[in-house]
C-alpha cells in the first residue's frame, strides 16, 4: 500500500444529483451525458501538497484574521473542529482545509451579495488551516447567519460554512458545506436536498459539542470529513492478469 | 449476517456556490489582507523547464452563456512527465493553479508549461495533458476534465481511447491559436458537451 495506489471509485450515489430542478441553477450547469469512468491514473493519484509554513498565525481564526488581530468580528463565537479521514478510516495528515462563510447577519463580503444585512467591518469570511499528523483541524469563527437567496420566491440558506479539502491526490478534491444541528432551514433548503439520501445529508450536519466548548468563551461544533481512499492490495504493481 | 466491511463513506459534495472565490482566492474576490497572496497563482516558477504556453477559454452553460463565476483548478506534470512530489520532478513546477472566469467576459487564462507524457500502470502512456477541476454555483459536485493538445500525438492515449463517440474526443483537445497559445472551451451541456471524467 503506497501513496501511488489507485483511488477507490467515487460512490456517486452518496453525492448530490448534478441535475436537481428545485435548485434552478443546476438545470443548465449539469452535464446531460454520462461521465467517462475508468481507473484512476497518476494525474488523479498525485496532487498538490502545502506546507504549514505557508500559514499565518491568524489564518484559522475568522474572528480576528480580517482585522489582523486589531478587533473582533460580531457574532456567536464558535470553534469548529474535526478530523479529515479517508474511506479506510485513516487520518489524512498535513492537508489543506479552507473555509468561507457569511457574517453573523447572513451577508458575504462579495460584490455580488446585495442582501441588506450589513457588512461587519471586522469580518472577511475566509480561513484556512492544515491538518496535524492525526488529521485534526480547528477554526475559530462566528456562527454565520441564515440568508435569503434568489431561487424560488422565498428560499433561505440554512446557516452553513463552506469547506474545501485537498487530501493528497487531485482525485480526492472535495468541496462541501457544514450545517448546524437543529437548524429548521436544513429541511427546506433545495441545495441541501440535492443530497437525496437523508442519512448522507445528516453527515453534513455538525453536532453541538459541549465537551469541547469553553465556558464564557465559545461553543464547539464537530465536523469530520471523509475523503476517497486508496485501494489496498499487494498486487498493485504486477502485470495485468498475473 | 456477514462481517462488517469497515469502509467509510466519502463526505457528500455540496455546491461551491457563488462566493467560492472568498474562500479560495480571496484577494481576487476583494477580501484583501487576510493572506499575503492567493493560493495557486501560478503552476510554474521562473526557469521552469519546458515550453511556456497560455491556454484561453470560456465555460458555457446549457444555454450557451459564458459563465462569469466559475473557478478552476489545474494539476499537471512537469515537462518530463513527472508530477511534483515525485522523484526527479522539476523543482520549479508546482503543477497546481487556481484561476477564475473573468467577471465581465467569462474568459479564463492558464499560463503554464506544456507537460510531458505520463507513464501509468501496466505500461500505459498518457499523452501530455492538464487535469482540470471546475466548481461554481449550480455545480453540485466538482467536474473533472482534461486538456490535451492538438499538436501532440493523442492517438494512443488510453483515456481518449475510451470515448466511444469519436467526435467527442475533440472536446478534450486544446486548439493551437498561435505560438505557444491555445484555445480550450468547456461546454457543460448540449451540443458539443465536454467529456467529463469519473476516475
For A168-184, give the secondary structure using H, E and C. CCHHHCEEEEEEECCCH
The pLDDT-based confidence of A1 (bands split at 50, 70, 90) is very low
Q: How many helices (H) and strands (E) does chain A have?
A: 3, 12
* Cβ pairs bridging A and B (under 8 Å): 269
Task: Give yes or no for a contact between A89 and A167, defined as CB atoms under 8 angstroms apart.
Answer: no
Asked whether A7 and A38 are in contact (CB, 8 A), the reply is no
At residue A237 the predicted structure's pLDDT band, cuts being 50, 70 and 90, is low
8 Å CB contact of A18 and B7: no
Plot region of A182 (φ>0 → left; ψ -120 to 50 → alpha; else → beta) = left
Whole-prediction pTM value? 0.97
Cell numbers found for residue A109: 463580503
What is d(CA A215, CA B174) in angstroms, rounded to the nearest whole number? Answer: 58
Q: Does residue A2 form part of some domain? A: no
pLDDT at residue A20 in the model: 98
pLDDT at B122: 87
- Active-site option among A81, A157, A168, A228: A157
ipTM over the 0.90 cut-off: yes
Confidence of residue A232 (pLDDT cuts 50, 70, 90): confident
Fold of the B38-187 domain: Protocatechuate 3,4-Dioxygenase, subunit A (2.60.130)
Tens digits of residue pLDDT in A60-94: 999 999 999 999 999 999 999 999 999 999 999 99
Nearest chain B residue to A109, by CA: B31
State the catalytic residue, choosing from A108, A137, A218, A221.
Answer: A108
Distance CA A65, CA A58 (A): 5
Question: Measuring CA to CA, which residue among A178, A160, A145 is closest to residue A74?
Answer: A145
Tell me whether residue A238 is in a domain: no
- pLDDT of B1 over the 60 cut: yes
**CATH number for position A181:** 2.60.130.10
Does the structure show a pLDDT above 70 at A3? no
> Residue A108: its chain B contacts at CB < 8 A?
19, 22
Residues 6+ apart with CB under 8 A from B118: A41, A42, A43, B77, B81, B83, B125, B126, B128, B129
Q: Does the active-site annotation cover A20? A: no
Q: Check B10 against A11: CB less than 8 A apart.
A: yes
pLDDT tens track for A149-163: 999 999 999 999 999
In a domain, A7, yes or no: no
Res. A233 pLDDT band, cuts 50 70 90: confident
Q: Which percentage of chain A shows pLDDT scores above 70? A: 95
CA angle B153, B154, B159 (to 5 degrees): 155
Considering only alpha carbons, which residue of chain B is nearest residue A62?
B34
Summarised one tens digit per residue, pLDDT across range A85-137 is 999 999 999 999 999 999 999 999 999 999 999 999 999 999 999 999 999 99
Residue that the C-alpha cell 453573523 belongs to: A104
Q: Would you call A162 a catalytic residue per the annotation?
A: yes
- The C-alpha of B108 sits at a distance from chain A's nearest C-alpha, in angstroms, of 17
Domain parsing of chain B, residue ranges: 38-187
Residue of A nearest to B119 (CA): A42
Cell numbers representing residue A83 in the block: 478530523
Mutate to test the interface with A, among B6, B24, B34, B164 (most CBs of A within 10 A): B34
CB pair distance less than 8 Å for A43 and B141:
no
**pLDDT over threshold 90, residue A242:** no
The range of the structural domain enclosing residue A64 comes to 12-31+39-227
Residue B31 burial (10 A CB sphere; 0-12, 13-18, 19+): buried
- What's the average model confidence in pLDDT over B94-110? 97
Sign of CA pseudo-dihedral A55, A71, A78, A187: negative
Q: What is the mean pLDDT of chain A?
A: 95
Q: Which of B39, B75, B162 sits opposite A36 (nearest CB)?
A: B162
| Sheet architecture: strand order including A160-165 | A126-130, A96-100, A160-165, A174-180, A205-206
What pLDDT, in 10s, does the model give residues B148-178? 999 999 999 999 999 999 999 999 999 999 9
* B44-48: average pLDDT: 97
Per CB-CB distance under 8 Å, the chain A contacts of B15 are 16, 23, 26, 175, 177, 191, 194
The count of structural domains within chain A is 1
The share of chain B scoring above pLDDT 70, in percent, equals 100
CA distance A25 to chain B (A): 5
The answer to the question of residue A154 being in a domain is: yes
Amino acid at each position: 500500500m503506497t501513496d501511488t495506489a489507485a483511488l477507490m471509485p467515487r460512490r456517486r450515489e452518496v453525492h448530490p444529483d448534478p441535475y436537481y430542478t428545485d435548485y434552478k441553477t443546476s438545470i443548465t450547469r449539469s452535464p446531460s451525458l454520462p461521465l467517462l469512468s475508468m481507473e484512476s491514473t497518476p494525474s488523479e493519484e498525485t496532487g498538490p501538497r502545502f506546507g504549514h509554513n505557508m500559514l499565518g498565525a491568524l489564518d484559522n481564526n475568522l474572528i480576528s484574521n480580517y482585522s489582523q488581530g486589531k478587533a473582533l468580528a460580531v457574532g456567536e463565537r464558535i470553534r469548529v473542529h474535526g478530523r479529515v479521514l479517508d474511506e479506510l478510516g485513516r487520518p489524512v495528515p498535513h492537508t489543506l482545509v479552507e473555509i468561507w462563510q457569511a457574517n453573523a447577519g447572513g451577508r458575504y463580503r462579495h460584490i455580488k451579495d446585495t442582501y441588506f444585512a450589513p457588512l461587519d467591518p471586522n469580518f472577511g469570511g475566509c480561513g484556512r488551516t492544515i491538518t496535524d499528523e492525526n488529521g485534526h483541524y480547528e477554526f475559530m469563527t462566528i456562527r454565520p447567519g441564515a440568508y435569503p437567496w434568489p431561487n424560488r420566491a422565498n428560499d433561505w440558506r440554512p446557516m452553513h460554512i463552506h469547506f474545501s479539502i485537498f487530501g493528497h491526490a487531485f482525485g480526492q478534491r472535495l468541496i462541501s458545506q457544514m450545517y448546524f444541528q437543529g437548524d429548521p432551514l436544513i429541511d427546506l433548503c433545495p441545495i441541501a436536498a440535492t443530497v437525496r439520501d437523508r442519512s448522507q445529508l445528516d453527515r453534513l450536519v455538525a453536532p453541538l459539542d459541549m465537551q469541547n466548548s469553553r465556558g464564557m468563551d465559545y461553543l464547539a461544533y464537530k465536523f469530520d470529513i471523509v475523503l476517497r481512499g486508496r485501494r489496498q492490495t499487494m498486487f498493485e504493481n504486477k502485470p495485468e492478469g498475473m | 449476517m456477514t462481517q462488517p466491511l469497515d469502509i467509510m463513506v466519502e463526505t457528500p459534495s455540496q455546491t461551491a456556490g457563488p462566493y467560492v472565490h472568498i474562500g479560495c482566492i480571496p484577494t481576487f474576490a476583494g477580501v484583501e489582507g487576510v493572506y499575503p497572496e492567493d493560493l495557486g497563482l501560478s503552476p510554474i516558477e521562473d526557469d521552469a523547464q519546458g515550453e511556456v504556453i497560455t491556454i484561453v477559454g470560456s465555460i458555457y452553460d446549457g444555454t450557451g452563456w459564458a459563465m462569469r463565476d466559475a473557478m478552476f483548478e489545474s494539476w499537471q506534470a512537469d515537462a518530463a512527465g513527472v508530477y511534483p512530489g515525485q522523484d526527479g520532478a522539476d523543482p520549479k513546477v508546482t503543477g497546481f493553479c487556481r484561476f477564475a472566469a473573468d467577471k465581465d467576459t467569462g474568459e479564463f487564462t492558464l499560463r503554464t508549461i506544456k507537460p510531458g507524457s505520463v507513464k501509468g500502470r501496466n505500461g500505459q502512456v498518457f499523452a501530455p495533458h492538464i487535469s482540470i477541476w471546475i466548481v461554481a454555483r449550480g455545480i453540485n459536485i466538482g467536474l473533472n476534465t482534461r486538456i490535451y493538445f492538438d499538436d501532440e500525438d493523442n492517438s494512443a492515449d488510453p483515456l481518449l481511447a475510451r470515448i466511444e463517440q469519436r467526435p467527442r474526443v475533440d472536446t478534450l483537445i486544446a486548439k493551437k491559436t498561435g505560438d505557444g497559445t491555445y484555445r480550450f472551451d468547456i461546454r457543460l451541456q448540449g451540443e458539443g458537451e465536454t467529456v467529463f471524467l469519473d476516475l
